[in-house]
Chains A and B, each alone.
Chain A
Amino acid sequence: MIFHPSFTIAREHRLLFEKAGPSPAPEGAPAPELTPERQKAKEVADALKEKLRGELKNPNVIRELIALKFDEAETDEKKFQETYHSALEKAANAYFKTLEGTEEEKAQKVNELFQSAGAPDVRLEGGALQMAPSSPEKKERVLTPEEQAMIDTAFSTHPQLKAAAERLMITLKPGSPELETARGFFEAFNGKKPEQKKAILTDNHAFQQFLGELPADQKEFVSKLRVAMQETGKELSDEEMQDTVEKAQNFLKEKKFDYATATDIQKNLMLAQLQMFGIDVSGGEAILKDPSKLQALNGSPMERGFNKILGMISYILLSIQQMKERIKPSEKKPDAPAGDKGKKGPEAASGAPGEPELKKQVKEKDMQQVRMERQNEIDQNNKLLDGDPSAAAGRKEKLGLRGREVALKTKDARLQAKSEQLQTQLKTINKESSPADYAAKEREISDNEAERKKIAPELDEIQKQKTVIEARNAQLTTEIKSLEDIQKRTEALRQKITDTQIEMKGALATPPIAERAEAKAILAALNGFKITLNPAQADEHFTVELQGIPDSATIDRAKFAAAVEAVRTVGGDSTAWELEGERTLKKPEAFSTALRQTLEKLKTKPETRVD
């Protein structure tokens, strides 16, 4: 939604400060771009809605649709919680850096501060602070032997369904109606004969028939079970996770990786390789220090795949960076541990992807040399073709092949013209009456032709030489162009690597300065807006007008809300932000003043403190 200069809350029918409950999206709001995952979920939902038109009598359709919505909300909530968690972790680390004392003392101070604020526990791991999970998952209980037996009996032939049932059952509170429903379902299912149970699990018709026999609450339990089974299928099993960890640990052993002597780039390369194995590397170097802490990344197949791709990209970029440092020792500090200088670069980079391109880079200086040699040869050839104007008479050929060719052709043409003229004259002379004159003309023609014959081979030779040299020049020009292209591509690649490194550095580290940059961007977008409060307005208790924003400015409401949240968090008169009822600011004037002041405060704040 675009903020027009006269944007008002009343017009939008949406409050900036709501205490609870989401409000509908404004009419005409542009549809946000969907990720492939969301697009797929939307397609499934649309298909189910379509199905619902025809199958209302089948309650499973609406249940499936709702289960899909639970799933979507659950996944998003998980991501939001991770973001909150990571923001606190970064803040803790930023504060940690400003403190003095031993690492343990600093960690203790951070811990006290954060714990007093109710934030999760902070641990010092590998020189960086990490937090315990901020919002633990809902307490899961252990299955009773009776429940376990019930599940085993029901799904012993279907391990995936068994795992899903276990997962679902541990979330049900003892004594709850949901647990009673689940028990009812298992009793009904286990009451069937083994061949009937097998049919229900494998044949859709038998399954539908069985479903028809169940009461509504048990049908809902079946829907949940199906969702849980899909979820279980997506994630790695314990065995698969253990297998991933073992493979990664073996790899570390094979590579004889020594944390104590490894350089930073070697450590990062190893982390990238572990990430390619499917290891969760969010713990950073701590997992290299103590490989027993290695853990496989759990998550959806897409998340796991993305993790591996990230690892591969990091590996390629780090390999390139490492190689660049190796081949340019004079320009960059070699990547070798103290006391290890003079040794060759780290072995981890050998055979790295991208190395052929690097080998080209190694030859970059040669390419420049070759290009110059080719150009010199062209210059020399051009002198042969066009002559050397600087040549001293008698020492060098002033006239080049092209000049000589033109001169000889001109001479030949002149001789030919002369011969033709003499031939014409000869026809007018009477051989009998003027034999001497006739003979003289004949001799002159003969001499001309003799001269032309003498010129012909020389002209032929010059033309041959000229053709060879011109062909060589064309070849040399093509080679130079290719070399230029390679150099341009190399330069572009280098630039891309640098850009990607910067981008990745930002993405991986997200230094606090980035947060400030975000704040600045928001504030820059809002810079110059004027707030007018109109408490007297009848239908809405106040109106916020943004003035001074050009019509072309596109500032979405989320950004505005973020800016308001940012300034609210910074401080000022906190009572100004309180709402009286749902829609009235307690102190509209104070709100206006506080907003302006805090925006100014943010704008002028030094941004280097937390770096």
Chain B
Amino acid sequence: MPNPPSSAGIPAIPAKRTGREIYDSIMREIEPELLSTELPNLDEMYKDDTPAQAKERAERYIRAMEEYEKRYAQYRQDQEAHTRAFKLGAIHFVEQKAAGDEQAKMQSLESALGGSL
């Protein structure tokens, strides 16, 4: 989840995910039947459901969706934290780079001055 710095120290932008991928990554741990890939099979799987079973399944799905909503809210909060950290990381990187450039310039100036003295 954290954005690892790239080789040059700039935090790398996390790969973009589709809404479906994000949904599935969260729902996978909650209710595998509600994964996007499983949806087309549900009708066949439960074609012989009694009304009572169907009702019980509906309640299960509702609970799963509510759990998903909770986890998604947390996921979003985490993502927001990561974006803030990313902003800081990016700016610190260029700060350090600028400071490094400046130091190198000073050293080069010093050595040039030292040579001429």
Contacts and interface: CB of A to CB of B under 8 A. Distances in A.
Nearest to B20: A70
Contacts of A76: 76, 79
Interface in B6-46: 6-20, 22-23, 25-26, 29, 34, 36, 39-44
A369 B2 CA distance: 64
Interface in A530-565: 557-559, 561-562, 565
Contacts of B22: 73-74, 77
Given A20-B1, A22-B74, A90 B25 contact: no
Which of B3, B5, B39, B44 lies at the interface centre, i.e. has the most chain A CB atoms within 10 A of its CB? B39
B117 to A, nearest CB: 25
Interface string A70-88: 1111111100110111011
The B interface, classified by DSSP as helix, strand, loop or mixed, is: helix
Contact of B8 (A85, A94, A98, A113): A113
A25 interface: yes
A45 B65 contact: yes
B71 A24 contact: yes
B80 interface: yes
A87 B90 contact: yes
A95 B97 CA distance: 8
Contact of A609 (B75, B80, B99): B99
A561 B3 CA distance: 12
A185 interface: no
A66 B23 contact: yes
Contacts of B36: 66, 70
Contacts of A32: 73, 77
Nearest to B97: A95
Contacts of A516: 91
Nearest to B59: A53
A576 interface: no
A350 interface: no
Contacts of A558: 77-78, 80-81, 84
B1 A117 contact: no
A84 B83 contact: yes
B22 to A, nearest CB: 4
B59 to A, nearest CB: 7
Interface string A197-224: 0000000000000000000110110000
Contacts of A95: 94, 97-98
Given A90-B91, A566-B88, A118 B6 contact: yes
A216 B44 contact: yes
B23 A565 contact: no
A52 B55 CA distance: 9
A172 interface: no
A562 B81 contact: yes
B78 A84 contact: no
Given A561-B81, A568-B2, A24 B70 contact: yes
Given A22-B74, A84-B13, A118-B6, A138 B83 contact: no
Given A21-B25, A25-B71, A49-B66, 13 more contacts: A32-B73, A45-B65, A52-B58, A62-B61, A80-B79, A84-B13, A90-B91, A114-B10, A118-B7, A118-B10, A565-B3, A609-B95, A609-B98
28 contacts: A18-B1, A21-B25, A25-B77, A56-B61, A57-B54, A62-B39, A62-B61, A69-B72, A70-B19, A70-B23, A72-B72, A73-B18, A77-B17, A87-B91, A94-B95, A95-B98, A98-B94, A135-B16, A138-B18, A512-B91, A518-B88, A558-B80, A561-B82, A561-B85, A562-B84, A565-B2, A565-B86, A569-B5
In order of increasing CB-CB distance, the 3 nearest A-B pairs are A565-B85, A74-B19, A569-B89
Interface of A: 17-25, 32, 45, 49, 52-53, 56-57, 59, 62-63, 65-66, 69-77, 80-81, 83-85, 87-88, 90-92, 94-95, 98-99, 113-114, 116-119, 134-135, 137-138, 216-217, 219-220, 512, 515-516, 518-519, 557-559, 561-562, 565-566, 568-570, 609-610
